[in-house]
Every structure is written in C-alpha cells, then in structure tokens.
Amino acid sequence: MSQGYCEKKSEGETCNEAENMEHLKRSSRGIVLDTIRKTERVARIDIANETGMSAATVTGISAELLSQGLIEEVAPDASPSDSRRGRPRVGLKIRGEAHLVAGVKIADRSAVVALLDFEGKLVGEFSLPLPHLKMSAQECAGFIRELMEAAMATNGRHLSDLSGIGLGMAGVIDAPRGFVHWSPSLTTRNVPLRQLLADTFAAAGPCPPIFLDNDVNLVALAEQWFGLGRNVSDFIVVTIENGVGMGIVINDNIYRGTRGCGAEFGHTKVQLDGALCRCGQRGCLEAYVADYALLREANISGEAFQDPNAEKQVQELFYKAKAGDVTARTIFQRAGKMFALGLANIVNIFDPKLIILSGERMQFDYLYAGEVIENMKNSVVQIDVSPPEVRIHKWGDLMWAKGAAVFAMEGVTERALRELSKNAR
Ligand SMILES: [Zn+2]
C-alpha cells in the first residue's frame, strides 16, 4: 500500500551506517503504520506476528506513532469470546483526526472533490463545472484554488485544515516533479502545474502540499485502498471514458514508467495503418473504442441522433444496438473485438492476477460481454492455467477523487514519518 518511505539519494551519494539504520527504522515505522491501516484495529503482538518484527520494536514504534497522534489506542474488546482467550488486548487504530486530505479529479466537464480523514473515511464532497473544457495553465490553477476554497467552506472547514491536496488529471504527467507534459484539459504543453498551484494558493495564505498524478494511476490507488484491488499485489486497471487509460500495480506499487507515460494503453497499436487517433497516429486502440471512435463510425453510416451531447449520443447508439439495430451492433462488435485484442496484449506482457475494468462507462456491457472475454482468452499465450480474472467495477468521478485523496494521504504520511525520524535523532 505504501510507496516506500526511504528517500533516494542522488546518483553517486551513498548512505553511511547511521543513515542506513535511520532509513531502516523509518521504513519499519511505515510498515507498522501500514499494518495498522490494513487491519483497521490490531493489537501490538499481532503486528509483531504479521511483520516478523520483535514485540519490543513494535512497542517502541507504536509509542512514537502514538506520541505524534498518528494512531490511537482503542479499548479492548470485552466480548466473552475474547476474554476466554486470556486478558483482552488494547488495540491500535489510525487516528482519523490526525490529518485531513483532499482529492480532486478534473473530469471532462466538471471537477470533483473528496475529503478524507486520516483513516480514509469520506468526510465531505463537492463539485463544480469547469469554466472551459480546455483551460490555460493559469486559469486551471486559479480554478482549482476557487474550487478548494468553495469545497472547504461548503463542508464547514477552511483551507488551513488541509494537510495535503491530491490532484488527478488525464494526460502524461511526471508525478515526482508535479509536471504536466500534456493533458487534454490544458491548452498548453509542458506545465509545471504543482509549482503554479503552490504559487496560486500561497497568494491567499499558507499552501498545503500538493501531489499531482495521472488520473488513472489514482483510480488504481483507489482500487487498492477501497475497491477490487485490496490484497492483490499485481493488477491492472483499465478505464474507458473519453479516452482509454491504464494503471499498473506491481508488487503493491503503482508503476509509472521513467517519463510518466508508461501506461498509454489507449495508444497501443491494434491495427497497422488503421483508424486515425486523437494523438495524430493511426491504429491506436482508442481510435476504435473511445466515444469519438464509435460516433465517427455512426456518422459514416449516416446515423441521426436526437441529442447534440456526445456522451448521450453514445448512449443512444448503445440502446439502438441493444434493440437490434444491425449497424449499431456492428459498431460495438468491432469495438469489442479490438478491446479484446488490447486486453490480450496486456495479459501477454504483464500476466497480472487481475484486470479491473473500471469507470462509469462499464454500464455499457459491450466491452466485457462474454464474447469479448472469450476473444481475449483465445488471443493470450495458451497454457494449462486459467488466464487472469477480469472484473468490472462501475463507479463515478467521486471514486477518482478518492484515489487522488489517497495519493495525498500517502504523501502526507511520508512527510509525517520523515518528521518523526528527524525528531527521533
Ligand atoms: Zn493514439
């Protein structure tokens, strides 16, 4: 669940023995905190059993985490079954009030905010329509400040109550640098958005730390914390909305690639010199399964729609296909075949335990109909072990925002542990 608490030294620098010990101790604190978070309520001795640490180490680390207010003790469970097993044990749990974090998802037409306490409980939500479908970098930063101020006021809180803000948006994003190489939500490329946001927030007062990432990575985090990815070390999330996205979890960590663009599933090629994609290339998966691809096919066949809204038009086309319209059906059937090919490529490259098809679009079953899954199975390397399970998770923008809040929570936790480590020296 944790992204690792050890700071990397720059190339050429090595740690001395004391620093190594401190890094080890800091990651031990992280492991204890993660164990408490996963278990929700756990006795010290059970943490020792689970992690393989000594009881004395766990007691020492628990005392530090208690003194920082990150965790709290809970009264022993006095149920008869518990007391029969000996003296009831005091449990430890995450202290919800320790930190408040916000997650923001910039969607196609609106932005959604989720507020989580340190336990990961949803304590508030908010949304505002975007001023424009594409914003300049400055306009985007100003809008997010306005959005956050309104979200906090609506939930009876203030910006200064926040320990961190996580922000997820579509595009190619360098998360460690908080840098947007390209996003469909912005009019310009190469935007140092985190710095711009920090400057914009700072103009009105103290600015909480801001954490920025590609939105599908944050869906993968949300699946890991709250969804179908709980207790699964290796899984892939595929989202289909306006475009096609993918989040990769390997060994419990999000895999981001070296340039922040390691999971462009939508732009993997499924056809040589095929249909033109929004990215300017040909034959991308997205050019066959995204909204605009389906509607392009429909327009070629002269399909008439009642609603000018693209999202509604896809719905209309889907219902026509369901009602037996032959043209509409062939459009979805081809999209399903291409999607199956894309899924098979994922299985052949990663061999994950689980593939989660996630997002609102999952109300349209053409992407996971029996024949799509069957086509996928037929296109993967054949061995005598079942291919990965494919599960469907229908959820809306709030869950994307919760994923963004979890990203902020991980960053805030890392900072808290670093602080603890500094004070312990
Ligand atoms: Zn493309």
Question: What would the two tokens of residue 424 be?
Answer: 């312990």
Residue 268 Cα to ligand 1 middle (Å): 7
Q: Is 280 exposed, middle or buried (0-12, 13-18, 19+ CB in 10 A)?
A: exposed
- Residue 397 or residue 223, greater confidence: 223
CA of 171 from ligand 1 middle (Å) equals 12
Model confidence at 4, pLDDT cuts 50, 70, 90, reads: very low
Distance of alpha carbon 88 from alpha carbon 211, whole angstroms: 41
Q: What pLDDT is attached to residue 18?
A: 59
The pLDDT tens digits of the residues spanning 254-291 come to: 998 877 666 788 999 999 999 999 888 999 999 999 88
Residue 10 scores a pLDDT above 50: no
Tell whether the model's pLDDT for residue 363 goes beyond 50. yes
In this prediction, residue 280 carries a pLDDT of: 86
Q: Give the pLDDT score at 5.
A: 34
Q: Which residue has the tokens 């309520």?
A: 41
Domains 99-218+399-415 and 264-352+360-394 share a fold: yes
pTM, 2 dp: 0.85
Q: Which fold has domain 264-352+360-394?
A: Nucleotidyltransferase; domain 5 (3.30.420)
Residue 285 CA to ligand 1 center (angstroms) comes to 7
Q: What is the pLDDT of residues 285-332, one digit of tens each?
A: 999 998 889 999 999 988 888 888 888 899 899 999 989 999 999 999
3-class DSSP state of 338: helix
Which tokens in the block code for residue 75?
Answer: 């009264």
Domain assignments of the chain as residue spans, ordered by start? 17-94, 99-218+399-415, 264-352+360-394
Sheet with 210-214: strands ordered across: 122-129, 110-117, 100-106, 164-169, 210-214
**pLDDT of 206 over the 90 cut:** no
Q: Rounded mean pLDDT of the chain?
A: 87
Strand-pair partners of 237 = 247, 356
What is the 289 CA–ligand 1 centroid distance (Å)?
A: 11
Give whole-number Cα distances, 392 to 34, 68, 230, 285, 355, in Å: 27, 40, 14, 19, 9
275 CA distance to ligand 1 middle (Å): 9
Lowest-confidence pick of 36-40, 99-103, 117-121? 36-40
Cα-to-centroid distance, 13 and ligand 1 (Å): 40
HSE-up of residue 140 (Cα within 13 Å, Cβ side): 28
Distance 340 CA to ligand 1 centre (A): 17
Q: What is the pLDDT, as a whole number, of residue 7?
A: 42
401 sits in which H/E element: helix 397-424
Cα 399 to middle of ligand 1, angstroms:
26
Structure-token pair, residue 161: 């109550």
* Distance of CA 280 from the midpoint of ligand 1 (Å): 6
> What pLDDT was estimated at residue 8?
42
CATH 1.10.10.10 for domain 17-94: yes
> pLDDT for 44-67, tens place per residue?
999 999 999 999 999 999 999 999
pLDDT tens for each residue of 57-112: 999 999 999 999 999 999 876 555 444 556 667 899 999 999 999 999 998 889 99
Name the CATH superfamily for 99-218+399-415: ATPase, nucleotide binding domain (3.30.420.40)
The pLDDT, as a whole number, for residue 270 is 92
Distance 279 CA to ligand 1 centre (A): 4
Contacts of 258 (CB under 8 A, 6+ apart): none
pLDDT band with cut points at 50, 70 and 90 for residue 3: very low
